[in-house]
């Protein structure tokens, strides 16, 4: 038996997004396949940013016995076309899909695409079990599949309790350095030397229940700090990395663990970044993080209005947000702010608070939308309330970086036109406030706008 592990690309409409990380999900699957003596190869369509036409013609798929595809909800459009083309050429080769996409939308994927089997949630144990029982799928826990036009869902598989028992992801499945060469820029403090970055996870899941968040795993399970450090050291030795990017939904779970993790990372002399929470850091933690090599921490601020934070079930106090961000900056760690616009309860007053927040912290405008994602409470509410009328149509629009889907969903009491106009006005105010302190950037920004307007005028004149 020979398996193809296929990493799909990410597209924003017609434009692809360059690789932003090494596909460690398939790396984990590769490691357990090797551990069980199952032959396999990796096909990384993301590294080369291939269209479906290119992907189908670039490889000889006939040599495989099973296609294993990893997919997010935002890759549904690509998955649908790619699986259809694969099945039309190789009708007897089963297509198995795993990842967040099939975990939350298996019935749509099985009903509307040419995928034969969906792996639900964790795949390390399920995929091996599946490959051993392809002739008796009903005995495999944790899957959904098509049988004579009917969709069968088997019982959920229990989570792997001991994450340390899982082998490190195989980063030789795909060309490591080729995959990360276009990684979204992470620079050292001198602004010149580029990091060689490896993605890593410290655990699976998150203990919080934010309504907008789509969590692949419920609850939280943690890897031991020693096991994390062992993997990081191996990455440093084998690939020459000097930077770690934690891909967890939340790394800073509690003070003791954070301090223990920092102590081990300091010994490795690696810079690193992670996702945190406003209520899980203080001066001591941030200083230890800085001393251990932390250069950036992501804060899911989402809103500075307490009413919206409460509706999101964020469980943070709005009054603590700005002080923690300022403290993070003072200590020398870059706070990466995530923020949302158009969440239920958005009003003129909450929009004004957003502007004041950006003004006080001197932050440029960042893309702000509220996009219901499959697996989130917000998405379930939108489906139940008829706001999302056709789930497949909605998923087909998610391929463009959430923008198309977000543009069609209005969760506020504003009209669609008002919601768009108010966001545009907010963007202009924030941009003006930020750039007026930076005249050279402001001049470049204005000249760019004028050049685009001139080009549109010229094109229109010649067209007429």
Q: Look up the CATH number of the domain holding residue 14.
A: 3.40.50.280
119-157 confidence digits (pLDDT tens):
999 999 999 999 999 999 999 999 999 998 899 999 999
Residue 449 is encoded by which pair of tokens? 């706008």
Rounded to whole angstroms, how far apart are CA atoms 95 and 407?
32
7-16, 57-66, 82-91: least confidently modelled range: 7-16
- The verdict on residue 250 lying in a domain is yes
pLDDT of residue 405: 53
- The verdict on residue 293 lying in a domain is yes
- The verdict on residue 42 lying in a domain is yes
Residue with token string 């923008």: 403
Handedness of CA 32, 36, 41, 45 (dihedral sign): negative
Q: Which H, E and C letters describe 200-259, residue by residue?
A: ECCEEECCCCCCCCCCCCCCEEECCHHHHHHHHHHHHHHHCCCEEEECCCCCCCCHHHHH
- The verdict on residue 360 lying in a domain is no
User: Across residues 217-224, what is the average pLDDT?
Assistant: 92
In the chain, pLDDT over 70 holds for what percent of residues? 94
Residues 142 and 47 in one domain: yes
Residues 203 and 310 in one domain: yes
pLDDT of residue 358: 96
260-276 confidence digits (pLDDT tens):
999 999 999 999 999 99
- The verdict on residue 219 lying in a domain is yes
CA dihedral 454, 457, 463, 464 (to 10 degrees): -150
Residues 119 and 211 in one domain: no
- The verdict on residue 414 lying in a domain is no
Q: How confident is the model at residue 14 (pLDDT cuts 50, 70, 90)?
A: confident
pLDDT of residue 186: 47
The domain in which residue 16 lies consists of 2-153
pLDDT of residue 125: 97
407-431 confidence digits (pLDDT tens):
568 999 999 999 999 999 999 999 9
What's the number of domains the chain is made of?
Answer: 2
Q: Which H helix or E strand runs over 44?
A: strand 39-44
- The verdict on residue 373 lying in a domain is no
Last residue of a domain, one of 136, 153, 170: 153
User: Across residues 60-69, what is the average pLDDT?
Assistant: 97
Do the beta carbons of residue 351 and residue 340 sit within 8 Å? no
431-443 confidence digits (pLDDT tens):
999 998 988 888 8
pLDDT of residue 174: 94
Q: How confident is the model at residue 189 (pLDDT cuts 50, 70, 90)?
A: very low
Q: How confident is the model at residue 366 (pLDDT cuts 50, 70, 90)?
A: confident
More confident residue, 183 or 300: 300
2-11, 392-401, 407-416: least confidently modelled range: 392-401
pLDDT of residue 408: 67
Residue 142 is encoded by which pair of tokens? 């944790």
Rounded to whole angstroms, how far apart are CA atoms 115 and 69?
9
More confident residue, 208 or 21: 208
In the chain, pLDDT over 90 holds for what percent of residues? 78
- The verdict on residue 85 lying in a domain is yes
Residues 218 and 136 in one domain: no
User: Across residues 193-220, what is the average pLDDT?
Assistant: 89
């Amino acid at each position: 038996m020979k398996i193809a592990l296929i990493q799909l690309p990410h597209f924003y409409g017609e434009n692809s997004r360059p690789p932003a990380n090494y596909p460690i999900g398939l790396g984990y699957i590769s490691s357990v396949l090797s551990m069980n003596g199952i032959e396999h190869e990796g096909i990384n369509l993301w590294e080369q940013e291939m269209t479906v036409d290119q992907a189908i013609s670039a490889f000889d798929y006939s040599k495989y016995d099973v296609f294993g595809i990893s997919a997010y909800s935002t890759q549904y459009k690509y998955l649908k076309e790619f699986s259809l083309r694969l099945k039309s050429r190789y009708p007897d080769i089963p297509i198995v899909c795993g990842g967040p996409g099939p975990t939350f939308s298996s019935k749509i994927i099985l009903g509307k695409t040419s995928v034969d089997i969906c792996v639900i949630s964790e795949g390390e144990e399920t995929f091996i079990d599946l490959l051993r029982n392809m002739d008796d799928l009903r005995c495999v826990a944790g899957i959904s599949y098509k049988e004579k036009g009917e969709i069968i869902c088997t019982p959920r598989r229990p989570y792997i309790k001991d994450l340390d028992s899982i082998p490190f992801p195989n980063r030789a499945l795909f060309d490591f350095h080729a995959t990360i060469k276009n990684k979204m820029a992470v620079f050292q403090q001198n602004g010149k030397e580029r990091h060689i970055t490896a993605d890593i996870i410290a655990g699976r899941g998150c203990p919080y229940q934010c309504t907008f968040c789509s969590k692949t795993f419920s609850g939280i399970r943690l890897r031991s700090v020693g096991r994390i450090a062992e993997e990081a050291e191996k990455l440093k030795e084998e690939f020459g990395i000097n930077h770690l990017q934690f891909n967890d939904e939340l790394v800073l779970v509690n003070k003791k663990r954070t301090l223990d993790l920092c102590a081990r990372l300091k010994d490795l002399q690696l810079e690193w970044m992670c996702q945190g929470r406003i209520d899980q850091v203080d001066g001591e933690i941030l200083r230890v993080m800085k001393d251990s090599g932390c250069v950036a921490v992501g804060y899911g601020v989402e809103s500075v209005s307490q009413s919206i934070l409460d509706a999101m079930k964020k469980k943070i106090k709005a009054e603590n947000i700005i002080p923690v961000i300022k403290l993070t900056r003072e200590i020398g760690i870059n706070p990466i702010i995530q923020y949302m616009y158009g969440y239920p309860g958005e009003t003129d007053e909450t929009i004004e608070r957003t502007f004041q927040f950006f003004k006080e912290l001197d932050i440029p405008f960042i893309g702000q939308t509220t996009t219901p994602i499959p697996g989130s409470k917000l998405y379930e509410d939108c489906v139940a309330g008829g706001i999302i009328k056709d789930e497949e149509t909605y998923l087909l629009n998610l391929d463009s970086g959430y923008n198309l889907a977000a543009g069609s969903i209005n969760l506020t009491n504003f009209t669609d036109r008002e919601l768009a106009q108010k966001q545009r006005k907010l963007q202009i105010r924030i941009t003006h406030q930020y750039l007026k302190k930076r005249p050279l950037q402001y001049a470049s920004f204005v000249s760019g706008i004028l050049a685009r307007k001139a080009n549109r005028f010229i094109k229109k004149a010649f067209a007429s």
